Amino acid sequence: MSDLVNKVAELLNAPVDLVQRSAEARAQASGVSVDDVLNSWAGGESVAASSAPAAKEEAPVEEVKEEAPEELVEEIEAQEVVEEIVEEVIELKKESSLAFVSGVLLIGIFTFVFAFVIPKNQSISAVESSLNNSVNVSSEVLKGAEIYGELNCQSCHTQNVRTLIPDTQNGKVLKNKYANEALIRNVGTIRLGPDLSTNATREPTNNSQWLRRYLTDSSSVNRDIPHPNYGFLDDSDLEYLVTYLLSLGEINE
């Protein structure tokens, strides 16, 4: 039996298990044994000739038999079976684009909902239920915060004191609060320069004259650490920026 299946599989250049299943299906449909089907595929007696298929199927087979020699009929039938198997092989290999696309989209939606929408709403709800839940600042401070954001100061400076040891020794941990967009944007995500969250409570950065000088000509204050000069800012913008920097400390209260 297994030799026969192997022989047919080799003959048809198809996987053994596939040949076995196809033979079983054909045997069931034709009302003959699996061995008969395999024998016929291996070049033995035709299944159609030895079976008793339904009347509708029988007629054309008999017609063919009358018109063509038996070998030819067997050849045609074997070819049909090969085509059937080949189709099945292709069908097995075929990947469903719909399943793939759905899978990727599901992961995309899952990520968007669980890694973004839910924690974002959770954070807002937590702020809603807290007592000291918003940051109130003057319009000058806000203007300064906008200039700070436009200059992209947050690309080097954070205002983000964490609950971890290196941060908590000397800073106030950033609390989640409602705030203006400009203030939120300035929190920063990478700390290449010093953290500025308590800028207004420390020497010498709590001095407006020192800040003005440092921002316009940093090397006259500290030659060792490079810092961009913002001498190109007009006086009012520089004043707003200094006002904002002097407010840092209160914001994190």
List b or e across 235-244, with b for residues whose CB sees 16 or more CB atoms inside 10 angstroms. eebbbbbbbb
The answer to whether the CB of 224 falls within 8 A of the CB of 174 is: no
Which of 5-13, 43-51, 146-154, 236-244 is the region at the interface with another protein (rule: CB under 8 A)? 146-154
Structure tokens at 178: 């409602």
Cβ closest to another protein, residue 232 vs residue 235: 232
* Of the candidates 145, 230, 233, 224, the residue with the CA atom closest to the CA atom of residue 183: 145
DSSP string across 6-61: HHHHHHHT--HHHHHHHHHHHHHHHTS-HHHHHHHHTTSS-HHHHS---HHHHHHH
Based on the shown chain and the rule CB under 8 A, indicate whether residue 236 belongs to the binding site for another protein. no
Based on the shown chain and the rule CB under 8 A, indicate whether residue 177 belongs to the binding site for another protein. yes
Q: How many angstroms separate the CA atoms of 19 and 13, rounded?
A: 10
Based on the shown chain and the rule CB under 8 A, indicate whether residue 153 belongs to the binding site for another protein. yes
Based on the shown chain and the rule CB under 8 A, indicate whether residue 20 belongs to the binding site for another protein. no
In the window 63-102, what residues touch another protein (CB under 8 A)?
Answer: 90, 93-95, 97-98, 100-101
Number of chain positions touching another protein (CB under 8 A): 79
Based on the shown chain and the rule CB under 8 A, indicate whether residue 131 belongs to the binding site for another protein. no
Based on the shown chain and the rule CB under 8 A, indicate whether residue 132 belongs to the binding site for another protein. no
In the window 109-128, what residues touch another protein (CB under 8 A)?
Answer: 111-112, 115-116, 119-120, 122-124, 127
Residues shown for the chain:
253
Based on the shown chain and the rule CB under 8 A, indicate whether residue 164 belongs to the binding site for another protein. yes
Closest approach of Cβ 203 to another protein, in Å?
Answer: 7
